[in-house]
Chains A and B, each alone.
Chain A
């Protein structure tokens, strides 16, 4: 069996006293791509945020393990350094901080043997070329005044450079036109080949380009059905009501 990267066991999570996740379990191995689909408010983004360690979320019961080790004592930055990456649905803008400076700091913080000087620039240029990103991006301020598509490309650029063991992609496909979606999908496929990948999405169109091994349907804070890629097609076709009836 492939290496286990993420194991979530009967996870219950609340935000300001309101239960959001209600007994969610999930295991992802290296080389696997999992997709989670569900209605707005089902708890998909909560799952990604709580795995990454967002302080606003309270784990009321259950466990999360990353590469076999419990996560609960690790702060957000320690999770990132351990090899976890979250592509945010709404990445924060950091005015005054240039993208180039930010990427350099981030790579130096996360990677064990970060490339320096010319080696870093070479790697950065190669990654930007893959994503058809112009060099002028580097002197812009992080996500400040970026379009939705530009923000998502920057998220994927970071993922390529940080080389995570686990990539959590929260609606990375939203706000992308079809050409941008294809480019972003290429980036995801490249990272997914040697890591574990959890894609949160509303749409089949990304899953046409990034083939998931497993698709999970989530309703009211729990995964109620797991299937192969065909489940995504069925959800897109039939919606979620039928799952509630059969649950």
Chain B
């Protein structure tokens, strides 16, 4: 269905409960503004090329809107890459939209760094990881603190392929992400981590879907958020294991650290398991800073402010602990360190 044919989704839907579509739309839901292009640049020997806009009818309103809004459309083909590929997505203007497709046929490490000061940015990333290919993908959101941001991602993993996916979300004042991965081939696996640092009135809604369509597939999701001021974080997960996808192994953990009385956080993992012989686990916790950790650090001479800062930083770093790709892990931690040091100086 195309955007104008779609009804506005009801708040009773899991996906739109906490950030209804009208709150993330750039203006009024019945309008599609003329979008500027998000400019993609890359350091890779494999060039980013222009790609035709997809005309395929979309299944949900966010993707249909991004399709209708147009903007830029690029693609990159990756084989065995000896160096990490850094893609910069620069957004400007009133409304900016970009579409990026990654085709992965070997082992590659890719970082996508989005920045800029537009009022609204929409990004739709799609990717296919071919049989026996491996992608480590880091997404860094450092948009201006006044920007509204919609991100959709759709990943398809073929037989024996793997995706390690890390998100560092520290930019934008209202963000909605809808990240979907389909494990389409036997032996495919995804490790995903999301780290969110929210302050002021920042609102960040991260929805992660992982669909096990075949047996012997694995998924592991860790989502950590630290919320200060009167910020609001929402982490929702949907994990499905299809009928017959036996010997699948899935785990989802959501942890929220509440740093002020007014900060709010929701952690809602959901499971739909239709296969018999699987292992699926999920957990969620929202809590203030642990008193025992504070006491321990203070007994080692750190004042209360330093102790809390060490605990919060560690908590955010820990979200990346499920990643095994060293380059991805180091870069995400470095980006997080830079962000936290800049925050300290403010």
Contact = CB atoms under 8 A, between A and B. Distances in A.
Interface in A100-126: 102, 105-106, 109-110
Given A92-B290, A94-B293, A96-B321, A158 B300 contact: yes
B31 interface: no
Contact of B303 (A77, A88, A141): A77
A52 B300 CA distance: 11
Interface string A121-156: 000000000000000000001100000000000000
A194 interface: no
Contacts of B311: 94, 97
A190 interface: no
A151 to B, nearest CB: 11
A246 B73 CA distance: 88
B85 interface: no
A70 interface: no
Contacts of A91: 296
B284 interface: no
A81 B301 CA distance: 5
Interface string B138-152: 000000000000000
Interface residues of A, number: 28
B299 interface: yes
B341 to A, nearest CB: 13
Contacts of B291: 55
A230 interface: no
Nearest to A158: B300
Nearest to A54: B295
Main SS of the interface on chain B?
helix
Interface in B267-319: 290-293, 295-304, 306-307, 310-311, 313-318
A109 B315 contact: no
Interface in A181-227: none
A57 to B, nearest CB: 11
Contact of A92 (B292, B315, B316, B321): B292
A162 B297 CA distance: 13
| Most chain A Cβ neighbours within 10 Å, of B299, B315, B316, B317 | B299
Given A81-B301, A110-B300, A96 B318 contact: yes
Contacts of A81: 301
A85 B306 CA distance: 18
Contact of B310 (A76, A86, A102, A158): A102
Contacts of B317: 96-97
A105 B302 contact: yes
A236 to B, nearest CB: 30
Contacts of B301: 77, 80-81, 106, 109-110, 162
Contact of B300 (A54, A75, A109): A109
Nearest to A75: B298
A95 interface: yes
Given A92-B292, A109-B306, A76 B298 contact: yes
Given A75-B304, A80-B298, A106-B302, 16 more contacts: A75-B298, A76-B298, A77-B307, A79-B299, A81-B301, A85-B299, A86-B299, A95-B315, A95-B318, A96-B318, A96-B321, A102-B297, A106-B300, A106-B301, A109-B306, A162-B301
The 10 residue pairs across chains A and B that have the minimum distance between CB atoms? A96-B314, A109-B301, A96-B318, A97-B314, A110-B301, A96-B317, A92-B296, A106-B300, A80-B301, A76-B298
Interface of A: 52, 54-55, 75-77, 79-81, 85-86, 88, 91-97, 102, 105-106, 109-110, 141-142, 158, 162
15 contacts: A55-B291, A55-B295, A77-B299, A77-B304, A94-B311, A96-B313, A96-B315, A96-B316, A97-B314, A102-B300, A105-B302, A109-B303, A141-B318, A158-B300, A162-B300
